[in-house]
Structure 1
């Protein structure tokens, strides 16, 4: 694993330092260069959550990844630079379904002058480090906030503490067994949302460009643009030109993608 190869992958050429400026610059560059994606999960290919495997996939093969891969790699990068960084096991939608969700998300904590939540694997929503406080921070087109739940957990949320886009975590706490269990569940179980629905996203300037099923969206500050992908050829073209993902095997999933899209978006 080579730090220089990762920096080339994300296009970062500025000097490196153990400071907030470098942390935020790397965070933003990662999200603009590397898409969040679950193609390998949908194609039922073997996956690993270790940093070496993530490096080979994302840096060498120039693919994207999901939280377990993106934050495993980014955590390794930060450690190589000299940051005090810790893996953290989190639970997306713990607000609705309780502790059974813990381990279904991997994020990071970094200690500088303050403690910061760092996450390049939450679908591109968070464009920089978020201080561990009750401040609301702008990540256009989103406003992200943290709430201390009073039970040792904090909640990252968008649009209120009970919003669908939220996850809970204990700062600097990582249950590796829970991460392993939920990773395997989300990779292999038929009811896993990552097995059922295509999810790809990437930052482009202040916009978030994403695919949910066959619905292509560009989320801008104050505006949402939508377009439905209508053919296998358009699917492959969108993945390649929009996200840099060359994956012709996705054509095999076209009938399933159409049916799942109809179920997820009956009016689109």
Structure 2
């Protein structure tokens, strides 16, 4: 990532170029990224091809002011961190199912930053920590989103828990972004993927979180959830613009109207 791209990315986050690649700066960058860049899967329901290429991700997230899901958001954020002087690399993770069993390998991509010790950074998991988490920490770590606990897991992996509930199992070894290409394709095309079966755009706010799911706008303020049904395409477009800074020329197709969930498309894994 060249210096001009770095400056444009930082402008997207509303951040001045930092003087040092330290923990305080990392914390601020993570907070600003989460606030400015939404977690969203609109590309899947707009028929847009998702490419894990740094230039393509930069164009989408920075220049077109969109968001993305984990592979896109953490993939590009890791590149920014490296350009700013951090030792940042991607890690694969298995997201836990509701029954407590881990999902498939490479189900999620997160970032590990090495400073005086290693820190888990994640801007692509929806509701997750707003601040870096100490990877070697044995005690609970307080965060605006709740209490996180990182525990040793089989094969040297790390289980990440939020308020006692397992979130994902993190690998220790670094992964290049290219390793996530097959799983990105599966997540974006398979009728079994929760991304093809749901439509979401979400980001944290100073008082909670705001989420737009199709025509349903959900705002959580100080723990109180408010839900509003939007009754027109104009209102939905306005919500994307006002709450997420996104100007859409067309709206995504709701999952129940998509061929991905109607059985018209049944991809096979490569």
TM-score range, shorter chain: 0.7 to 0.9
- Residue 210 of structure 1: SS of its match in structure 2? strand
Instruction: Say which structure is richer in helix.
Output: 1
How far, CA to CA, are the matches of 2:30 and 2:100 in structure 1?
A: 30
2:123 aligned with 1:116, yes or no? no
Give the 3-state SS of the residue equivalent to 1:26 in structure 2: helix
SS of aligned partner of 1:151:
helix
2-side partners of 1:213 and 1:147: how far apart?
Answer: 36
3-state secondary structure, aligned to 2:196? helix
Higher mean displacement: 215-224 or 194-203: 215-224
C-alpha distance in 1 between matches for 2:141 and 2:188: 32
Cα distance change on mapping 1:110 and 1:172 into 2, 3 Å: farther
Once the two structures are TM-superposed, the CA of residue 251 in structure 1 deviates from its matched residue by 6.0
Report if the CA contact (8 A) 1:16-1:81 is conserved: no
What displacement does 1:125 show? 2.3
**What corresponds to 2:58 in structure 1?**
55
Q: Could you give the per-residue CA deviations for residues 25-83 of structure 1, whole angstroms, max 9, x where no partner exists?
A: 11111111111111111122111123221111111111111111111111001101111
After superposition, the C-alpha distances for 1:83-137 in whole angstroms (9 at most, x for unaligned) are: 1111111111268585652112110101111111011111142211100113323
Corresponding pairs, count: 255
SS class of match (1:246): coil
Whether the 8 Å contact between 1:103 and 1:181 is mirrored in structure 2 is no
1:1-268 alignment, distance < 5 Å: 1=1, 2-13=5-16, 15-93=18-96, 96=99, 101-132=104-135, 133-162=137-166, 166-174=167-175, 179-250=180-251, 252-253=253-254, 256=257
Q: 1:148 to 1:44 in 2, by over 3 A?
A: same
> Given that residues 140 and 206 in structure 1 are in contact (C-alpha distance below 8 angstroms), is that contact kept between their aligned partners in structure 2?
no
Shift of 1:232: 2.6
CA contact (8 A) 1:141 1:206 kept: no
Gap runs ≥5 in structure 2: 262-270
- TM-score, normalised on structure 2? 0.84
Q: Which runs of 5+ in 1 are unaligned?
A: 261-268
Instruction: Provide the secondary structure at the position in 2 that maps to 1:146.
Output: strand
Question: Aligned pair in 2 of structure 1 residues 212, 135: CA closer, same or farther (>3 Å)?
Answer: farther
The more displaced of 17-26 and 195-204 is 195-204
- TM-score, length basis structure 1: 0.85
Any conservation in 2 of the 1:58–1:65 contact (CA below 8 Å)?
yes
Describe the shift of the 1:97–1:125 C-alpha distance in structure 2 as closer, same or farther (beyond 3 A).
Answer: closer
RMSD of aligned alpha carbons: 2.5
Whole-angstrom CA distance in 1 between matches of 2:17 and 2:104: 38
CA distance in 1, matches of 2:210, 2:79: 26
Task: Give me the whole-angstrom Cα distance separating, in 2, the residues matched to 1:102 and 1:154.
Answer: 14
